[in-house]
């Protein structure tokens, strides 16, 4: 079962992402800020990171930079600055329909 780290500062977004990804057969670990996400990434064991890098507190840009070298990353953001970032497996607009998130995650996991 693929293990996915989901990072977002909005609790509703975290819970919706987890529900969609778990229903699709994935294990999810949640982080509400970039600091916690970096701690979790340091422990390893993730097959994918789903992140909104444009968070107001403890943003996810360092997480995105650290993750793209080790695992596929799907960015879900309303921030235009994410577009064109190297190493992203996918970039989805926020809010993102659950089906689109699952499809992007599965495509990224398939490599």
The CATH number linked to 92 is 3.40.50.2300
Residues facing residue 66 across a β-bridge: none
C-alpha–C-alpha distance, residues 60 and 37, integer Å: 8
Count: domains in the chain: 1
Burial class (CB within 10 angstroms; exposed 0-12, middle 13-18, buried 19+) of 37: buried
For position 108, what pLDDT does the model report?
A: 95
**β-strands 3-7, 27-31 pairing:** parallel
C-alpha–C-alpha distance, residues 62 and 81, integer Å: 14
pLDDT tens for residues 49-65? 999 888 776 677 788 78
Q: Is residue 57 part of a domain?
A: yes
Q: Is residue 90 part of a domain?
A: yes
pTM for this entry:
0.91
| Structural domain harbouring 68 | 3-96
Q: Is residue 73 part of a domain?
A: yes
Q: What is the mean pLDDT of residues 95-99?
A: 93
Q: Is residue 106 part of a domain?
A: no
């Amino acid at each position: 079962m693929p293990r996915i780290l989901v990072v977002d500062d909005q609790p509703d977004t975290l819970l919706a992402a987890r529900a969609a990804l778990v229903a699709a057969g994935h294990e999810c670990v949640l982080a509400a800020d970039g600091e916690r996400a970096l701690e979790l990434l340091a422990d390893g064991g993730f097959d994918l990171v789903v992140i909104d890098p444009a968070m107001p507190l403890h943003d996810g840009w360092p997480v995105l930079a650290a993750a793209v070298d080790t695992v596929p990353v799907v960015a879900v953001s309303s921030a235009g600055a994410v577009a064109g970032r190297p190493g992203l497996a996918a970039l989805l607009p926020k809010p993102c329909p659950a089906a689109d998130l699952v499809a992007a995650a599965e495509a990224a996991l398939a490599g």
